[in-house]
Every structure is written in C-alpha cells, then in structure tokens.
Amino acid sequence: MKRPIAFTAVLVLSVAGCSSDQADFETYADAAGSVMIVSDCPNTDQLLSGNPDGLPHVSSTQSRDEIEAWLGDGGNSMVVPRNGEVWDRTADGNVVVTQVADYMIEVTIEKLSDCPGMPSSVNGIPIIYRIAGD
C-alpha cells in the first residue's frame, strides 16, 4: 500500500509544481490568513493566495514569453514569477481557487511619491512595485 501513496505524492507535486523560476519577494499573512506579496509602495501589496477576491482570473495566466511579447522592452519593468493562486468558476457557478505557475510584472520607480494608491494590474497580470535603490 505504501507504493501507491508515494506515487500519488510525486504525481501531485509534478502537476501542482510552480514555475522553474524562483520568486524573489517577501510575503506575509494578513489577519484573514491570505498571503500577500510585499510591494515597496504602500497600499499596493498583491494577493498571492487566500480569498478569491483580489486574485487574478485563470484567463489572465500567461507564459513569460507571452507577457514579454506584449510588454515589450519593458524599460523599468520585467516579468517575474508569481506562482500563486487564481480563481475561476465551475459550470454550476461556484468559485474555485487553483495554484498555478504564473507571472507578475515588477515595475521599478524612482521615488515613493511615484507610487500608485492601490494594487494594480495590466491585462489581468498583477504589478508589484520596487523603488530604485531600495
């Protein structure tokens, strides 16, 4: 009986595994237990897992190449691994949350006063902010 259990565990890890890229960001759990990605800009932390409200929709999940294709050179931005949860609806209308190997856009800005006032995204892809020199 141990052999099927070990096989199942390996299968689950390979299916649910994250992008081979390693994410390099700090996270914390809020009071509700949702995991947030820390942004350098106040009020712009991004939801990584937890409550479906605020998570990207599964349809916005794109490969690094797809995002880089429409993002272009990027200038002060780059595509980085997010590896978080996304939401979708089942045929009967229920909301489901799934772990995926996905990406977000990291934007570097010059100073704190350039920060937006709330979390943002483009084409459904979350944006995380870094202040140059921090």
Residue 105 located in a structural domain: yes
Give, in order, the Cα–Cα distances in Å from 88 to each of 20, 53, 98: 24, 11, 8
pLDDT at 8 (0 to 100): 28
Residue 7 located in a structural domain: no
SS3 sequence, 67-131? HHHHHCCCCCEEEEECCCEEEEECCCCCEEEEECCCEEEEEEECCHHHCCCCCEEECCEEEEEEE
Number of independent structural domains in the chain: 1
Residue 100 located in a structural domain: yes
Q: How far is CA 15 from the centre of its chain?
A: 18
Q: Of 71, 41, 54, which is closest to residue 126 (Cα–Cα)?
A: 54
- Compute how many other C-beta atoms are within 10 angstroms of the C-beta atom of residue 99: 14
Residue 93 located in a structural domain: yes
Strand partners of residue 132: none
Q: DSSP letters along 49-64, please?
A: ES-STTSPBGGG---H
Residue 59 located in a structural domain: yes
Residue ranges making up the domain that contains 48: 19-131
Residue 2 located in a structural domain: no
Residue 54 located in a structural domain: yes
Strand partners of residue 96: 88
H/E run at residue 29:
strand 27-29
Residue 65 located in a structural domain: yes
- Give, for all 134 residues of the chain, the pLDDT tens digit: 433 333 322 222 222 334 445 557 899 999 999 999 999 999 999 999 999 988 999 999 999 999 999 998 768 999 999 999 999 999 999 999 999 999 999 999 999 999 999 999 999 999 999 999 86
